[in-house]
Amino acid sequence: MTGPSSHPASTSLALHGYPVSNYFNAARAALIEKGAVFTVVPTRASQDDAFLKLSAMGKIPFLQTPDGCIAETVAILEYIEEAVPGIPLYPATPFERARARQIVNIVQVYVEAPLRSLFPGIFMGGVNAPETIAAAQPVVERAMRALGQLVTLNPYLLGAQLTHADLFAFYTFDIGERVARFTWDMSLLDRVEGLRDWFDAMADRPSSRTVLADFDTAFAAYLRDKAAAWQEPELKETHHA
């Protein structure tokens, strides 16, 4: 086969981003789990014209491939799955693959996005308006109820096989747990039976240890830089320290 899709993508991939980002971390973990050969290019989000040519929304992460740059983490994960050899990170049947994507979508739209609306007052030195907090809560609660219905945790979210849903959800809950603690003094993980055990097992994976080690360092610097309200506990409950 000739043409762009025949490139041996795993030999020429560069993931641009920053280890504080749960999106960057999910994409990086997927590449590690695949055994991909790739480089990480430390990059911060920007609205500069030059950056927008690489990532149209000016966001990180984006993946540099032999065919050009691709942004939006879900699209990056799909690319990785199709272009990079290695263990499959989607289930074997169309229906189960759709269920994995359903979970990624619920986590992204109804857990990550509302919690992200609270990042300014927690991690960025700002203040969250009561209306913003009030708007986020019912969306997240509904999503957690939905996840409780959809996941099997046996031992992964969709059963015996690690999927992109596990990786995407893990990095969302890693930051999301901090947001829920700070804002509502509650745990998202405790909302679904077995989710904390899943989270702890995920945190112990070699890919997670690599990604979280860089997160810890970058996040500490980020919190200092932003004079953030959130303080990391001395001994982490969530991580591997």
Binding site for ligand GSH (CB under 6 A): 21, 23, 45, 58-60, 72-74
Q: 44 near 58, Cβ under 8 Å?
A: no
Q: 137 near 192, Cβ under 8 Å?
A: no
DSSP state of 53: T
Return the structure tokens found at 135.
Answer: 């708007």
DSSP state of 192: S
DSSP state of 167: H
Return the structure tokens found at 94.
Answer: 């169309």
Residues 6+ apart with CB under 8 A from 42: 17, 18
What are the phi and psi torsion angles at 61 (to 5°)? -85, 160
Closest Cα partner for 115 from 188, 54, 49, 43? 188
- Count CA atoms within 13 Å of residue 40 on its CB side: 17
Closest Cα partner for 123 from 21, 198, 197, 44? 21
Query: In this structure, which amino acid lies at residue 116?
Result: R
Strand order in the sheet with 62-65: 38-42, 13-17, 62-65, 68-71
